[in-house]
């Protein structure tokens, strides 16, 4: 065993209560760190899952038509812009080639080829605006788990079927099997049959969105070939931006990642993350202050001993090392204990039901234990640096005569 390690261990063991308190202090800070990480990250996952779980991770849309910019006729520096033509509709025409590109992408778990449009639903004296989404029946649940959210009827989408949210059904006073009169924004009227009711828990969807067969939508919105959008689901939601950039580049279409489509969520998550980071920073500061002050006291108490060591030619580096090792041991042991406590505490809370079968959004697997271990050990070593330097610079003559 290295002799500096032996001396450091002996010093830690000689004052067991102080060492235990120090390790306990680091452990508590690391517990707070890891629990905070498990809570903030768990909460973020929960929120992301709620939003992203029933929507696309990457959405491909037609490139926006922009007004053409032309040089002015009088040869000046001015430019003129022509108005966007209203005759052309924004649509993805060559979607088969896009489909081939998507098929080559790794990590794609689901794709839906959609036609989107708006329409008005009439029932009795009531008329309500709705968003109509035409999807291939086989890909109905590729993006949102509509099949799992069906609360009445079933998820089949025949040519004359429509699936609507429970909220919309309540607003219209409509039930399974009843007719659904709809007029599309292209002026096409159609009578469909309510095949199923779904409830996603997101009001904006449950009250406004109606699913129809893709072929039905083609007729309703006069799109015999093209598509309004292509939605993609990924195994790793955090690569969505890269995938979107890649698709935009290779297809020339507009591809948007979920985080750019949900700015509010992004901001909320960033806010949460920042608060979490502040808490984590304070736990690290607690470690630094605690370890530094305790070791500084130890240094002061051991001044005569350090003076004696220096008097028989023990190097400053050796003394420095003894105190740095003490800091590192306190940090590593405290962090290990803290990680275990943090995991245990997070697991305990994650399993406590808050009523109606729900649990707190704490995810013990997201406790960032490796980061906590690394940072707490680094903080302890950094905290030991000052006392260690002070110890190594003790004047042996002054210390011995103390």
| Closer residue to another protein, CB minimum distance, 219 or 325 | 325
Strands 209-213 and 161-165, by their bridges, are antiparallel
Nearer CB in complex with another protein: 212/399:
399
Q: Which residue, 207 or 308, has its beta carbon nearer to another protein?
A: 308
Strand 179-184 relative to strand 79-81, pairing: unpaired
Which tokens belong to 377? 């050990």
Q: At what angle do helices 263-301 and 16-52 cross, to 10 degrees?
A: 170
Closer of 216 and 321 to another protein (Cβ): 321
Q: Which is nearer to another protein, 205 or 330 (CB)?
A: 330
Contact 266, 355 (CB under 8 A): no
DSSP 236-271: SGGGHHHHHHHHHHHHSSEEEEHHHH-HHHHHHHHH
Which residues, 6+ apart, have CB-to-CB distance to 184 below 8 Å?
117, 118, 119, 132, 190, 220, 221
State the minimum distance, in angstroms, from the CB of residue 381 to another protein: 19
For another protein, the closer of residues 18 and 186 by Cβ is 18
Min dist CB 388 to another protein, Å, is 16
The nearer residue to another protein, 3 or 238, going by C-beta atoms, is 3
In this structure, what token pair is assigned to residue 358? 């729900």
| Nearest partner of 368 among 400, 342, 349, 393, judged by Cα | 342
* CA angle (230, 236, 238) in 5-degree steps: 90
Closest CB to another protein among residues 4, 206: 4
Shortest Cβ distance from residue 4 to another protein (Å)?
A: 6
115's tokens: 């036609």
Q: What is the DSSP letter of 277?
A: H
Angle of helix 263-301 versus helix 316-350 axis, rounded to 10: 140
Q: Which ranges of 252-368 would DSSP assign to H, the alpha helix?
A: 258-261, 263-301, 303-311, 316-350
> Burial code of 322-338, b = ≥16 C-beta within 10 A, e = fewer?
bbbbbbbbbbbbbbbbb
Binding site for another protein (CB under 8 A): 1-4, 6, 10-11, 14, 304-305, 308-316, 318, 396-397, 400
Which of 239/400 has CB closer to another protein? 400
Smallest separation (angstroms) from another protein to the CB of 266 = 53
* Shortest distance (Å) from residue 52 CB to another protein: 56
Report the nearest approach of another protein to the CB of residue 380 (Å): 21
CB of 304 to another protein, least distance (A): 7
C-alpha distances (whole Å) from 225 to each of 41, 59, 88, 184 are: 43, 19, 14, 18
Min dist CB 297 to another protein, Å, is: 16
Shortest Å, Cβ 398 to another protein: 10
């Amino acid at each position: 065993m290295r002799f500096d390690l032996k001396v450091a261990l002996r010093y830690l063991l000689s004052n067991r209560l102080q060492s235990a308190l120090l390790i306990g202090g680091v452990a508590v800070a690391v517990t707070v760190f890891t629990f905070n990480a498990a809570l903030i990250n768990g909460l973020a996952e929960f929120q992301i899952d709620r939003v992203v779980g029933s929507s696309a991770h990457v959405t491909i849309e037609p490139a926006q038509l922009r007004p053409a910019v032309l040089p002015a006729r009088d040869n000046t520096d001015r430019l003129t812009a022509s108005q966007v033509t209203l005759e052309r509709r924004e649509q993805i025409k060559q979607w088969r080639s896009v489909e081939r590109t998507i098929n080559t992408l790794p990590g794609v778990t689901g794709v839906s080829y959609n036609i989107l449009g708006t329409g008005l639903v009439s029932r009795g004296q009531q008329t309500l605006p709705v968003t109509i989404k035409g999807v291939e029946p086989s890909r109905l649940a590729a993006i949102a788990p509509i099949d799992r959210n069906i609360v009445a009827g079933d998820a089949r989408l025949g040519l004359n079927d429509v699936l609507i949210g429970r909220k919309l059904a309540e607003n219209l006073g409509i039930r399974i099997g009843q007719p659904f009169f709809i007029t599309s924004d292209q002026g096409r009227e159609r009578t469909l049959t309510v095949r199923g009711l779904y409830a996603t828990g997101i009001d904006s969807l449950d009250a406004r969105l109606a699913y129809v067969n893709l072929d039905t939508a083609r007729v309703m919105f006069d799109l015999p070939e093209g598509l309004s959008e292509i939605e993609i689901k990924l195994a790793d939601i955090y690569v969505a931006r890269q995938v979107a950039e890649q698709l935009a580049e290779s297809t020339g279409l507009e591809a948007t990642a979920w985080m750019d489509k949900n700015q509010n969520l992004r901001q909320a998550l960033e806010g949460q993350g920042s608060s979490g980071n502040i808490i984590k920073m304070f736990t690290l500061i607690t470690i630094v202050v605690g370890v530094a002050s305790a070791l500084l006291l130890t240094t002061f108490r051991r001044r005569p001993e350090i003076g004696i060591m220096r008097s028989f030619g023990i190097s400053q580096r050796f003394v420095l090392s003894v105190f740095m090792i003490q800091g590192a041991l306190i940090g590593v042991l405290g962090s290990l204990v803290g990680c275990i406590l943090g995991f245990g505490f997070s697991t305990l809370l994650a399993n406590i039901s808050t009523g109606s079968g729900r649990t707190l959004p704490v995810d013990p697997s997201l406790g960032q234990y490796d980061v906590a271990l690394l940072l707490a050990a680094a903080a302890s070593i950094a905290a030991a640096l000052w006392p260690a330097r002070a110890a190594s610079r003790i004047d042996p003559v002054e210390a011995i005569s103390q």
